[in-house]
Amino acid sequence: MEQGDLIKCWSTDQYNQIGIVLEHDKELKKVKIHFQSSGEVKDLYSRDVQLLKRCRANLIKIKEKLDKP
């Protein structure tokens, strides 16, 4: 997951909240998320987050890395 990716997550008491990744700290395994429904910004653990769709810019980066010899 990288900045701009669309995710589905478990937050407090609700499942399947949709949000956008603002920051992802891989060492601490934390993700800062902006929720679409409420406009809140929260920090969650990576285990509570599921990737729904990658940002187009992130897809291009991944394809470039894979295409290099």
pLDDT of residue 14: 63
pLDDT of residue 31: 93
* Domain-embedded: residue 49: yes
* Domain-embedded: residue 47: yes
* Domain-embedded: residue 12: yes
Predicted TM-score of the model (pTM): 0.75
* Domain-embedded: residue 1: no
> For residue 30, what are the domain limits?
6-67
Number of domains in the chain: 1
Domain containing residue 59: CATH number:
2.30.30
Query: What is the chain's alpha carbon radius of gyration, rounded to the nearest angstrom?
Result: 13
* Domain-embedded: residue 51: yes
Residues forming beta bridges with residue 25, ordered by sequence position: 30
Closest residue by Cα to residue 33 from 41, 13, 4:
41
* Domain-embedded: residue 28: yes
Give 11-66 pLDDT, tens digit per residue.
566 667 888 999 999 999 999 999 888 888 989 898 888 888 888 887 888 888 88
